[in-house]
């Protein structure tokens, strides 16, 4: 394993000698490679926006951004103003688009100051930006978002051409881009009700109307990870990729679409080994009871760290190329393993909760399937855990 550096602390640490109870290892080289693989698959003329919201989906926004840039990303998407400022403070100078809605003049003024592009969902924000930019004698680049069927942010797509025309009349605004977001891009061919095509058709209808009126919308973008992997017809001038950048496929049927490598490993340390008899209830509610004399291992990670409590008793962890079952309720900062079949597991041993060990691998999707959620939520759940960078 390469030398690690603790992302949140300036002091150097020796390779692999974390004394912490639990941590996330982020492989920056995997992020770089994923960005390179994704860039290489884009339609000619299309570029890669790396979506680094939620602290880079739990991987650390700044190191992810650096790695993504090295792999060919040309700009970044964040959810909030604070996330954009964090990238600037980390020395990232590439364009940054704030994907969330900024509603206060103060926030939009900060966009000007930090050179972040806001998303506009209507005329109200357009006028606020125009006034702020005019006051400071500058031009403000913005992206207009169209709602083509997500029913979240964006102006109704049928109003798109009117909005673009109005923005073109505001001399201190530069329409740097126009975009929309797909609601069902990850639907399998069997589940697909054609709505992605409907959304794309609406997007294209707006673009065609702008073309006919000779209005320049700037950079056109529609695709998230799933649409990016589905095919070049969705790539336009740019794609906005989150999950795939971190090495995860957004849906089973897209698994083979690109050679992606998961960048996150979640590991934790055994803090206590106990030998118990048969019939002993383990953890809150005694949801598990030993059926033989057992060797239990307590591990210092729990649901406050990002391990969903709903997975209690249904996951394994990896150690020495072997899967060891977790038993009983997962608690806030600890969980228990049945290590009866793993005599080499000892106090201080490091187990892998997500990631690989020997030939075995546990993926974010293994977990999300086990608790009716999505891999995105599993990854973001670890954003407060201590982070180590490699690569």
- Catalytic residue, candidates 53, 57, 246, 303: 53
Give the C-alpha distances (Å, rounded to integers) separating 361 from 108, 275, 322.
44, 28, 10
Residues 179-218 that bind ligand PLP (CB under 6 A): 181
In the bound complex, what is the minimum distance in angstroms from residue 145's beta carbon to ligand PLP? 8
Q: Considering only 83-91, 200-208, 241-249, 323-331, which stretch makes contact with ligand PLP by CB under 6 A? A: 241-249
In the bound complex, what is the minimum distance in angstroms from residue 383's beta carbon to ligand PLP? 14
Selected from 224, 340, 368, 390, the binder of ligand PLP by CB under 6 A is 224
**Residue 95 to residue 101: CA distance in whole angstroms:** 17
Q: Residues with Cβ < 8 Å from 163, sequence gap 6 or more? A: 120, 122, 123, 126, 144, 155
Q: Considering only 22-30, 125-133, 237-245, 348-356, which stretch makes contact with ligand PLP by CB under 6 A? A: 237-245
Q: Considering only 31-39, 88-96, 240-248, 274-282, which stretch makes contact with ligand PLP by CB under 6 A? A: 240-248
- Catalytic residue, candidates 179, 284, 303, 383: 284
Asked if 97 and 77 touch (Cβ cutoff 8 Å), the reply is yes
**Residue 85 to residue 78: CA distance in whole angstroms:** 10
Residues 93-132 that bind ligand PLP (CB under 6 A): 99
Residues 19-78 that bind ligand PLP (CB under 6 A): 51, 77
Per rule CB under 6 A, is residue 243 in the interface with ligand PLP? Answer: yes
Give the nearer residue to ligand PLP in terms of CB position, either 144 or 270: 144
Give the nearer residue to ligand PLP in terms of CB position, either 49 or 351: 49
Selected from 60, 217, 242, 328, the binder of ligand PLP by CB under 6 A is 242
Q: Considering only 234-242, 260-268, 329-337, 383-391, which stretch makes contact with ligand PLP by CB under 6 A? A: 234-242
Residues 139-158 that bind ligand PLP (CB under 6 A): none
Give the C-alpha distances (Å, rounded to integers) separating 27 from 34, 67, 178.
11, 9, 33
Number of residues that bind ligand PLP (CB under 6 A): 11
Q: Is 383 a catalytic residue?
A: no
Per rule CB under 6 A, is residue 248 in the interface with ligand PLP? Answer: no
Residue in the block written with tokens 């050179």: 115
Q: Which residue is nearest to ligand PLP (CB)?
A: 242
Selected from 110, 225, 294, 316, the binder of ligand PLP by CB under 6 A is 225
Chain-centroid distance, C-alpha 293: 43
Q: Is 53 a catalytic residue?
A: yes
Per rule CB under 6 A, is residue 250 in the interface with ligand PLP? Answer: yes
Residues forming contacts to ligand PLP in the complex (CB under 6 A) are: 51, 77, 99, 181, 224-225, 240-243, 250
Catalytic site residues?
53, 284
């Amino acid at each position: 394993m390469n030398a690690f550096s603790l992302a949140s602390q300036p002091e150097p640490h020796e390779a692999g000698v974390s004394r912490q109870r639990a941590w996330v290892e982020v492989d920056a080289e995997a992020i770089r490679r994923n960005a390179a693989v994704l860039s290489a698959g884009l339609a000619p003329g299309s570029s890669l926006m790396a979506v680094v919201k939620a602290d880079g989906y739990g991987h650390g926004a700044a190191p992810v951004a650096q790695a993504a840039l090295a792999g060919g990303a040309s700009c970044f998407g964040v959810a909030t103003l604070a996330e954009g400022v964090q990238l600037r403070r980390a020395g990232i100078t590439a364009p940054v688009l704030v994907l969330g809605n900024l509603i206060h003049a103060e926030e939009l003024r900060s966009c000007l100051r930090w050179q972040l592009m806001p998303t506009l969902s209507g005329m109200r924000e357009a006028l606020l930006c125009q006034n702020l930019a005019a006051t400071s004698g500058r031009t403000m680049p913005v992206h207009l978002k169209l709602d083509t069927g997500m029913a979240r942010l964006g102006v109704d797509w049928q109003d798109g051409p009117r909005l673009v025309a109005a923005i073109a009349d505001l001399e201190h605004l530069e329409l740097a881009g126009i975009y929309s977001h797909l609601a069902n891009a990850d639907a399998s061919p069997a589940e697909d009700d054609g709505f992605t095509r409907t959304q794309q058709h609406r997007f294209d209808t707006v673009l065609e109307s702008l073309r006919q009126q000779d209005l320049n919308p700037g950079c056109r973008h529609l695709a998230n990870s799933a649409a990016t992997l589905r095919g070049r017809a969705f790539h336009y001038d740019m794609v906005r990729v989150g999950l795939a950048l971190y090495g995860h496929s957004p849906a089973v049927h897209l698994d083979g679409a690109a050679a992606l490598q998961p960048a996150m490993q979640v590991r934790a340390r055994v803090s206590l080994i106990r030998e118990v008899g048969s019939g002993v209830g383990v953890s809150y509610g005694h949801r598990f009871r030993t059926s033989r004399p057992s060797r239990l291992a307590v591990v210092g990670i729990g649901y406050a760290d990002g391990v969903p409590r709903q997975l209690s008793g249904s996951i394994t962890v990896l150690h020495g190329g072997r899967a060891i079952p977790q038993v009983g309720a997962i608690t806030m900062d600890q969980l228990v393993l049945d290590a009866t079949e793993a005599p080499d597991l000892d106090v201080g041993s490091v187990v892998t909760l997500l990631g690989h060990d020997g030939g075995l691998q546990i993926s974010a999707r293994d977990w999300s399937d086990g608790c009716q959620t999505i891999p995105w939520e599993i990854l973001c759940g670890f954003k407060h855990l201590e982070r180590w960078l490699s690569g």
